[in-house]
Amino acid sequence: MKIYVPIDSAAKALGAEDVVRALVQAAADSGQAVEIIRTGTRGMIWLEPLVEVETDGVRYGFGPATPEDAAAILDGTSVKALGPVEDLDWMKRQTRLTFARVGVTDPLSLDDYQAHGGLAGLRRALGLTGQEIVDEVKASGLRGRGGAGFPTGIKWQTVHDAQASRKYIVCNADEGDSGTFADRMIMEGDPFTLIEGMTIAGLGVGATKGYVYLRSEYPDAIKVMRRAVDIARGAGVLGADVLGSGRTFDMEIRVGAGAYVCGEETSLLNSLEGKRGVVRAKPPLPALEGFLGRPTVVNNVISLATVPVIFEKGAQHYADFGLGRSRGTVTLQVAGNVARGGLFETAFGISLDEVVNDLGGGSASGRPVKAVQVGGPLGAYMPVSKFDAALGYEELDAEGGLLGHAGLVVFDDTADMLGMARFAMEFCAVESCGKCTPCRIGAVRGVETIDRIAQGDADALPLLTDLCETMKDGSLCALGGFTPLPVMSAVTHFPDEFVRTKEAAE
C-alpha cells in the first residue's frame, strides 16, 4: 500500500511526524506492507496532516490526521476520509501551473520530477538562443512575484544585453512578509523547479552562477534546497555540462541572518557580499551592477519557479490566464484568522471576497471578518466594503491596495486596528536599514504618535498623517515608503478606532 504524507513545515508543525510514526506502527501491528512517501503539501493547511492512500492509482485523502487515526486509515474505516484528493473543491478550482507537482511528488526524487514534466522546459531552452529565451519570458507576461510586479522578461533583457565576463542569477528567497509561505512551500515541496528556472535564466542572460539567498527562519527549506542542488549536480543538471549540452550553470544556497530589509534586492546583494544589509541607491540597477558589481538578475522564488512551466507549455499557454496586465497565475496565500487557510493558485482576477469568504470559509473564530491585510507588512488593510476588488496588480492598486507577494491575512472583528497600525510602525523601526531619516526616525515617531492617539490626544492624528506623507516621499525603499500604507489604510477605513476620548483611554 502506498501512503503519502507531507514533509512540509506546516504539516510538521501540525504533527505529521507523529502521524507517520503511528502509521508505521499500525502497519506493523496489522501486518500490512506499506510504503510511506513524503511529499510537499497540497496547500490545504487546515487539513494537515493530510494522509493520502493510493488505491488503483487514485489518491484518497484523510485529514486532519492524528496518530489515533492511523489504524482506521489503514483499514479504510476512518471518519477522516475526504475522498479523492483531486476531487476536493479547493483542488478542483485551482489552476496549478507553478505548483503542479507540489504535494504530488517526492521533492527530492529527480525521477519523480521528470515523470511529472520536470526538465522539459530546460531541455527546450537548451535549443534556444539567449534572446529567444528572453523573448519567451516576455511573451508569457510574467511579472515579478516578489512584490513590485516588474516584467521579468524586461529585467532579463537588460542583463542579457550587458557586456561582462561574469553575470549572476540571484534568487530572492528571503520571504519575510507575514502571511506568505509560497516560496517556502515550493522550496520544500518541489525544489528542482526553482533550480530548473534559475538554470534557464542563466542560459537566457548568459550567467553561469546562481545564488539562492534563503532566510534563516526556514531551516527545513534550507536543508531541502541544499540537498536538491547536490542531487541536481550529481545528475548533471547543474555543473559544467548542463544535461550534456556543454553549457555551464551552477548554484549555491546562502543563508540570511534575520533581517527583513534584506529581502529588498540591493540590501540582499550587499548581504550576499558580506556587508551590512543597507539598501543601495538606484541607479545603478542590479541588472547592470549587481552582485560584486556585475550584471545580475534578482528574482523572487515564485518568479523563477514559474519559468520551467512557461518553457514546458509555451509562453502563450501561460499568458492565456489572467486579467489585464496581470498574466498567468497568482499563488495566493490565505492566512491568519481564516477557517480554511493555505495556498491557492489561480488565474489573476479572482475577487477578495471569493478568496476570503468562499474558499477560505470566513474567519476561523466564526466571528465576522473585519479586514484583510493583502501584500504583507507593507500592504493595506482592506475592509469588507472593498472585497469586490479583483486580485491583480493594477486592479488592487486602484482600490488603494498592494498585491505584493500575494499573502492575505484575515482578521475578525476583534482586531485592534490602532494596534495593527502601531505594529506596522514598530516593525519598520525594528527592521529599518537606517539609511534614511524618514524611515529610521520617522517610524519611531510613528509609534509615539499612535500612542498619543491611543491616549486621546486629538492633535496627534494630523501629525500621523503628515509623518506618513514624509515617510512616503522621503524614503529610499518600500520599507519606509510603504509602511504608511497599512497605517493610513487602518486610519481611513476604521476612523472610529483612531478617535479616542481621554476618559476612554484612562
Partner 1 sequence: MALPDPVIDEGEIARIVEDHLHLEGPLLPILHALQEAYGCVPAASHGPVATALNITRAELHGVISFYHDFRDAPAGRHVLKICRAEACQSVGGTALAEATLTKLGLDWHGTTANGAVTVEPVYCLGLCACAPAVMLDDRVVGRVDAARMDAVLAEAGA
Ligand X SMILES: Cc1cc2nc3c(=O)[nH]c(=O)nc-3n(C[C@H](O)[C@H](O)[C@H](O)COP(=O)(O)O)c2cc1C
| Cα–Cα distance measured from residue 41 to residue 104, given in angstroms and rounded to the nearest whole number | 8
Strand, helix or coil at 231? helix
The nearest distance, CB 140 to ligand X, in angstroms, is 13
Closer residue to ligand X (CB): 336 or 377: 377
CB atoms within 10 A of CB 221: 27
| Cα–Cα distance measured from residue 207 to residue 218, given in angstroms and rounded to the nearest whole number | 27
147 binds, among ligand SF4, partner 1, ligand X, none (CB under 5 to 8 A by kind): ligand X
Check binding of 491 to ligand SF4 (CB under 6 A). no
Closer residue to ligand SF4 (CB): 403 or 436: 436
| Cα–Cα distance measured from residue 345 to residue 360, given in angstroms and rounded to the nearest whole number | 13
Long-range residue pairs from 253-256, CB within 8 A, at least 24 positions apart, any chain: 253/211, 253/212, 253/214, 253/222, 253/225, 253/226, 253/229, 254/211, 254/212, 254/213, 254/214, 255/214, 255/215, 255/216, 255/222, 256/174, 256/213, 256/214, 256/215, 256/216
Residue among 203, 415, 417, 460 that touches partner 1 (CB under 8 A): 415
Check binding of 260 to partner 1 (CB under 8 A). yes
458 binds, among partner 1, ligand SF4, ligand X, none (CB under 5 to 8 A by kind): none
Check binding of 175 to partner 1 (CB under 8 A). yes
Mark 435-474 with x for binding to ligand SF4 (rule: CB under 6 A) and - for no binding. xx--xx----------------------------------
CA-nearest of 177, 259, 126, 234 to 424 is 177
Angle at 418 between CA 467 and CA 358, to 5 degrees: 115
Label the pairing between strands 369-374 and 407-412.
antiparallel
Closer residue to partner 1 (CB): 376 or 481: 376
The nearest distance, CB 362 to ligand SF4, in angstroms, is 35
Check binding of 476 to ligand SF4 (CB under 6 A). yes
Residue among 98, 470, 475, 489 that touches ligand SF4 (CB under 6 A): 475
Check binding of 240 to partner 1 (CB under 8 A). no
Closer residue to ligand X (CB): 428 or 454: 428
Only one residue has cell 505584493, namely 404
Residue among 7, 22, 26, 46 that touches partner 1 (CB under 8 A): 46
Eight-state DSSP code of residue 367: S
Check binding of 62 to partner 1 (CB under 8 A). no
Closer residue to ligand SF4 (CB): 279 or 347: 279
Q: Which of residues 239-278 bind ligand SF4 (CB under 6 A)?
A: 261
CB atoms within 10 A of CB 271: 22
Long-range residue pairs from 134-138, CB within 8 A, at least 24 positions apart, any chain: 134/160, 134/204, 134/205, 136/310, 136/311, 136/315, 137/204, 137/307, 137/310, 137/315, 138/315
Check binding of 94 to partner 1 (CB under 8 A). no
Interacting residues toward ligand X by CB under 6 A: 144-148, 150, 172, 174-176, 261, 263-265, 298-300, 303, 477-479
Closer residue to ligand X (CB): 355 or 478: 478
Residue 453: phi and psi, rounded to 5, are -60, -45
Closer residue to ligand SF4 (CB): 27 or 439: 439
Check binding of 434 to ligand SF4 (CB under 6 A). yes
| Cα–Cα distance measured from residue 340 to residue 337, given in angstroms and rounded to the nearest whole number | 9
Element (H, E) at 381: strand 381-383
Residue among 181, 192, 321, 387 that touches partner 1 (CB under 8 A): 181
The nearest distance, CB 40 to ligand SF4, in angstroms, is 33
Check binding of 216 to partner 1 (CB under 8 A). yes
**Close Cβ partners of 479 (under 8 Å, ≥ 6 residues apart):** 260, 261, 264, 279, 378, 428, 431, 432, 433, 439
The nearest distance, CB 145 to ligand X, in angstroms, is 5
Closer residue to ligand X (CB): 402 or 461: 402
Eight-state DSSP code of residue 57: T
Check binding of 429 to ligand SF4 (CB under 6 A). no
Eight-state DSSP code of residue 212: E
Check binding of 258 to partner 1 (CB under 8 A). yes
435 binds, among partner 1, ligand SF4, ligand X, none (CB under 5 to 8 A by kind): ligand SF4
Label the pairing between strands 2-6 and 51-55.
antiparallel
Closer residue to ligand SF4 (CB): 134 or 436: 436
Q: Which residues lie across from 330 on neighbouring strands?
A: 346
Closer residue to partner 1 (CB): 164 or 255: 255
- Summarize as ranges the residues that interact with partner 1 (CB under 8 A): 9-10, 12-14, 45-46, 48, 175-181, 183-184, 209, 216-220, 252, 254-260, 271-278, 291-292, 333-338, 341-343, 364-365, 373, 377, 407, 409-412, 415, 420, 423, 427, 430-431
- Summarize as ranges the residues that interact with ligand SF4 (CB under 6 A): 261, 279, 432-436, 439-440, 475-477, 479-481
